[in-house]
Amino acid sequence: MTKLRAIIIGCSFVCLGLRAQGSGAGASSQDLSEQMVAEQRHFLQCLAVVYSPAFWISYNDSLYFRAKNEAQARQLQAMKADRSKYVALTNRETRHELAANGIAASGIRGTWQRKILLPLSTTNQDLTPTLGRPLRILPRYKVLQSLAEGDALLQDDHATYFVMDFGRGAEDASGTNALLIKEGIKAYSEGGEFKTVEAFEDVSLSKEEKGVLNRVAAAFQMQAAALGREIAAPKASEEFEDCKARARDSNPYMEYLLAKCYLDGKGTEKDEKLGMEWMTRAAKSGSGDAIAYLEKLARKAP
């Protein structure tokens, strides 16, 4: 988290001029810092989606990012459109560093890190490796025959497929959503005669590969949540001070809200003793919420 905050602070100075040029008016460093935090949080949320196993395939000992259906493609386009509106987080180097730090924070080995994040380049705009070869998806299939060396014959409603390295995927036995890349034509023997069918490579993620990507996505989610709390903290603090001021005017509802702030640690340090004092005071002042809270607490007591 310290490293993440350092990135935010460092970028504030880089992006200050960009904000002023784009808006035609000056912006305070505080406003810019808040904008940077909000955009970094959104970017981390996008990365959590991008590094979900649902968007990856495994081919020739490498991992590749790609949308597998129209719904995923629309989701990626929507995130891209949102990122195009950034006014603070516009530096590619900073975005790459955010991605690299999040991946490193997941604790996966360096070999995995290099598989899922491309080096920063002036010519390449992508963070993730991609593969341009067509992907064949079999929504439903059955295994006709298991062959030598991990190969298999699969069949759906349209054809029979020779699939190499079948069974490497974590869900290959499910009979749904086989992910295949065509490699050519393969001949095999059946009942003493040779047959030829289209040959494919199984590119489903293995259990280990899915686990790695899940760890990375979780790391990005945690970092985004931490920035979300940072964004919410000033507002919560303001609400707490407002409740505290109005509660002193013997306002039963504000006394109840102040009690909740202390009990939940919202906008202030958590203080259960002080929270219960204010909750009791609110109930005596006639707050129905406070009375209901204390009654519910009494029912739970042993």
What is the pTM for the complete model shown?
A: 0.70
Say what the pLDDT of residue 32 is. 56
Tokens at 38, concatenated: 């909000």
Where in the sequence of the chain do the CATH 2.40.50 domains occur? 136-202
Amino acid residing at 34 = E
Most confident of 23-32, 50-59, 287-296: 50-59
Longest alpha-carbon distance in the chain = 94
pLDDT tens-digit map of 146-187:
888 889 999 999 899 999 999 888 888 889 999 999 999 887
Orientation of helix 92-105 relative to helix 207-247, angle to 10°: 100
| Cβ atoms < 10 Å from Cβ of 122 | 6
Looking at the domain 136-202, which fold is it? OB fold (Dihydrolipoamide Acetyltransferase, E2P) (2.40.50)
d(CA 162, CA 184): 10
Q: Can you tell me the mean pLDDT for 15-23? A: 34
pLDDT tens-digit map of 221-248:
999 998 887 767 667 777 778 778 888 7
Mean pLDDT over the full length of the chain: 85
Task: Pick the more confident residue, 124 or 113.
Answer: 113
Share of the chain above pLDDT 90, in %: 54
